[in-house]
Amino acid sequence: MDFSPIHRHLQVRAALPMARKRAQRFECDDPLAVFPKTVMGIDFANPLGLAAGFDKLGTMTALARNLGLGFMEVGSLMQEKPLSFSKSGPLGMNIAADVDCMSLDESLVHYTKLAASYAAQADFLVINLSSPRSRPFLQKGGRGWTIDLFQQLHALVSCPICLKVRCEQIPDWIGDLSLNGVVVAHIAQEDVQDIKHIYADLCPFKIVSVGGVMTQRDVEMRLSSGADLVEIFSLLVLKGPKAVRELVQGLWP
């Protein structure tokens, strides 16, 4: 059986529409599991959350509470649209740009407009330079463009700001950025020592680990390796809401 990252990606992509329908029907009145943690000045009931990509428009924000998760990310948001939802816990707003539609200068304006538009609804912002459409900005713009971007963002908004980047594309100069945290996207299950090394290099930024998290062992390994928060995605898509709820209950009985 093919367990490659590409095969897993195709599986998740095919299953996502049905997974969203199942999630919208899932209801649970039990309270959040309690394993409180404060990260970036935000109080989380527990450090396990739902990654961006599942709820792109903020229509399922109650899902985090129902699953027992401590938080969730909405997005990626690529246009200025008013969102109407009721928050049930800490919420990250993930914003992105499309390299095929704009220049580097235009992307700076785009990211700052989105940040200003959504910051009031967010507990923290995630600047997505990880997706196929947005990660070329990091390579093309380099250090100067990226520093300029985060300086402009911090001048506009007061909430914490994170950079989302793939683990193999973390720049050597990331320490020069005005960040509160880094969302590290793993495309495969790296060796434990590799993950510890990656996270150690990101100190003193807060770390949100996402990608390849399917089991209790995966969550515990990420936290013990230095992650402050851990996000799931594929588990919800491939195995459903009950599997996520069971994972949370197993971690914090």
pLDDT tens digits for 196-241? 888 998 988 999 999 888 999 999 999 999 999 999 988 888 888 8
Which pairs from 140-147 meet CB under 8 Å and 24+ separation? 140/99, 140/104, 141/104, 141/107, 143/171, 143/173, 143/176, 145/104, 145/108, 146/171, 146/177, 147/176, 147/177, 147/178
pLDDT at 93: 93
User: What is the band of 48 on the pLDDT scale with cuts at 50, 70, 90?
Assistant: very high
CA distance 196 to 72: 24
Does the pLDDT value for residue 2 go beyond 50?
no
Q: Is 167 exposed, middle or buried (0-12, 13-18, 19+ CB in 10 A)?
A: buried
User: What is the band of 189 on the pLDDT scale with cuts at 50, 70, 90?
Assistant: low
How far apart, in Å, are the Cα atoms of 110 and each of 16, 92, 132, 136, 153? 28, 18, 17, 15, 11
**Farthest-apart Cα atoms in the chain, separation:** 50
